[in-house]
Amino acid sequence: MQEKDFSTLDANYKSRTIGGNKLNFFDGFASPFVLEGFPYLDAEGRRSRLPLDVAGQCEMPGVVPMSMQGAGEILRIRTDSRHVGIRASFSEVFSGINRGGSAGFDLYANCGRSAVFLGNRVIPPGQETMEALWENPSAQRGVFQEYQLYFPYHSATSELAVGIDPEARLASPRPKRIDKTVLFYGSSITNCGAAARPGMVYPSIIARHLDFTLHNMGFSGSCLGEMCMADAIAQANPAILVMEFYYNAPDAQSLALRHEPFFLRFRARRKSTPVIMMSKCNFNNSEEDLLRRDVVAATWRNARANGDSFVDFIDGADLFAGADRTDCTQDGCHPNDLGASKMAQVIEDRLLRFL
């Protein structure tokens, strides 16, 4: 494999030393690395979670930029290097709900439930480039190990170089334990919630535990159930669709006008794809919450009554169940790390019925 000279892309790539460690850098968007979660690439080289022409048809203009921003994407790396470094450039850096806004990159060693968090590296405030270094104390020369690099959520990474020790080697990542893609469609709860870092967004936790490919189509403030979105999700042909389609409708009546038609549009194109529908995670038993939950449950009940055995319903009241229920959000709505972990546990169990 030929090493790429990143100094031709950005002056920040000229140095090949991070934290006193000399590294050899390679194009992170090229083989043998595997990028998951950005399946679309347009003529301008923009990677996205949703085709940008479809994003442009959605009612909320924010869907276009959000489609190019992180929401649980990973770069899979296999190497015998003790150190892993990155140099990244961004076309957009979000400042908002958490420290540094985007909470930076997470690196995990290993896959499945044995994955080990090696640390988070935050994008420096006000910067459009960054470099970061991780060390894996358990790494052994000659023994290849899997790594998962999580991209910053709500920020758009335009260039990425991955560095390894000069004497280390790269290899293609091993196959997933579950060779399927699960697609999550939802609001800011699915997009990033209020997790402290990208590895703790609830779909990311589930995908890491069960070791499948994640396609996150959560769009903050913009989960409105447009027919073009239903068509795009059907075209993506996921093994399972998880619908957290609830929050962004202004009221229960508006939700009722869109929820079942969205499902039926998808079902007309994917007749046997399992669909898991869920209601509000921070359920508080208010009249509006009860009405909205009934809308989601009605879509599920009607499908079952029509002989559809590939549907399931998760009552949002169960997602934060148990101790510390009121500690599961950052702001009364968006799940923090505790809330995301509780959501992941409940949804994992339902996914396994179909996987």
Positions of the chain with pLDDT under 50? 1-14, 97-101
Write down which residue in 171, 194, 217 finishes a domain: 171
Whether 235 is covered by a domain: the verdict is: yes
Are residues 295 and 340 located together in one domain of the fold? yes
pLDDT at 93: 85
> Structurally, how many domains does the chain consist of?
2
pLDDT at 38: 97
Are residues 187 and 328 located together in one domain of the fold? yes
Are residues 151 and 10 located together in one domain of the fold? yes
Whether 163 is covered by a domain: the verdict is: yes
- Say how far apart CA 292 and CA 318 lie, in whole Å: 15
Whether 76 is covered by a domain: the verdict is: yes
Contact 148, 76 (CB under 8 A): yes
Whether 200 is covered by a domain: the verdict is: yes
Are residues 187 and 305 located together in one domain of the fold? yes
Instruction: Name the token pair of 180.
Output: 């399927």
- Say how far apart CA 65 and CA 19 lie, in whole Å: 33
Are residues 195 and 157 located together in one domain of the fold? no
pLDDT at 94: 72
Whether 1 is covered by a domain: the verdict is: no
Instruction: Name the token pair of 197.
Output: 């870092």
- Say how far apart CA 61 and CA 48 lie, in whole Å: 15
Are residues 59 and 87 located together in one domain of the fold? yes
What does the DSSP assignment read for 69-98?
SBSS-EEEEEE--SEEEEEEEEEE---SSS
Name the one residue in this structure whose structure tokens are 């996987």. 355
Whether 52 is covered by a domain: the verdict is: yes
Helix axes 252-269, 227-236, angle to 10 degrees: 40
Whether 176 is covered by a domain: the verdict is: no
CATH number at residue 266: 3.40.50.1110
pLDDT at 96: 54
CATH number at residue 53: 2.60.120.260
Write the DSSP symbol of residue 266: H
Are residues 23 and 136 located together in one domain of the fold? yes
pLDDT at 95: 60
Contact 230, 173 (CB under 8 A): no
Contact 296, 277 (CB under 8 A): yes
Are residues 190 and 142 located together in one domain of the fold? no
Are residues 186 and 165 located together in one domain of the fold? no
List the helix and strand counts (H, then E) for the chain: 8, 19
Write down which residue in 171, 201, 218 finishes a domain: 171
Are residues 160 and 210 located together in one domain of the fold? no
In this structure, the dihedral spanned by the alpha carbons of residues 306, 303, 228 and 244, taken in order and rounded to 10 degrees, is: 180
Are residues 216 and 324 located together in one domain of the fold? yes
Q: Which residues contact 207 (CB under 8 A, 6 or more apart)?
A: 72, 182, 213, 214
Domain enclosing residue 143, as ranges? 6-171
Are residues 115 and 189 located together in one domain of the fold? no
Contact 72, 150 (CB under 8 A): yes
Write down which residue in 171, 193, 216 finishes a domain: 171
